[in-house]
Amino acid sequence: MQYESFSAEDTKQLGAALGRKAKKGSIYCLIGDLGVGKTVLTKGVAEGLGINEAITSPTFTIVNEYEGSLPFYHFDVYRIVDPEEMDEIGYEEYFFGQGVCLIEWANLIQDLIPDHALWIEIKKDLSKGEDYREISVVEQKGRIL
């Protein structure tokens, strides 16, 4: 599926829709350049899960945990050098647990991602405006967008 976003609010609302549709074990894999809106979309997913606390990117802690209608695990694996580092945080308990996982920079650990994950790529297109984003959502194992 392809979506167009003309503002941060549009991107957040797409995330909220994903959050409302999430089920136990849902995994959302976000990819895109720095500053493209991955955390904005994440805030929307959290909102869709009924989470009211501030959502921040866990760049240094790798994962932040939140309680909503389902447990929400927000990963930022930008600083992961070797996918085996994910073993240290017990990623399998999150990925195969009862909550919802959202992974920023998921392409860096794509070999660890389960088949049922939803891949979301966010791209800027400055020719259509500073705030314009093209958002692709695909369910496909091992997809690098």
pLDDT in tens, the chain (145 residues): 899 999 999 999 999 999 999 999 999 999 999 989 999 999 999 999 999 999 988 877 899 999 999 999 999 999 998 888 999 999 999 999 999 999 999 999 999 999 999 999 999 998 998 899 999 999 865 444 4
> What SS3 class is residue 111?
helix
Does residue 21 form part of some domain?
A: yes
Going edge to edge, which strands form the sheet with 63-67? Answer: 2-5, 133-138, 118-124, 27-31, 100-104, 71-76, 63-67
- Residue 9 covered by a domain: yes
In a domain, 82, yes or no: yes
145 is a domain residue: no
Instruction: Report the CATH number at residue 22.
Output: 3.40.50.300
Residue 144 placed within a domain:
no
Task: Give the pLDDT score at 144.
Answer: 46
Is position 64 within any domain?
A: yes
In our burial notation (b when 16+ CB lie closer than 10 A, e otherwise), range 106-142 reads: bbbbbebbeeebbbbbbebeeeeeeebbbbbeeeeee
> How many structural domains comprise the chain?
1
Residue 76 lies in a domain: yes
Instruction: Show the domain range for 73.
Output: 2-138
pLDDT at 145: 41
pLDDT at 56: 87
Full-model pTM: 0.91
In a domain, residue 143? The reply is no
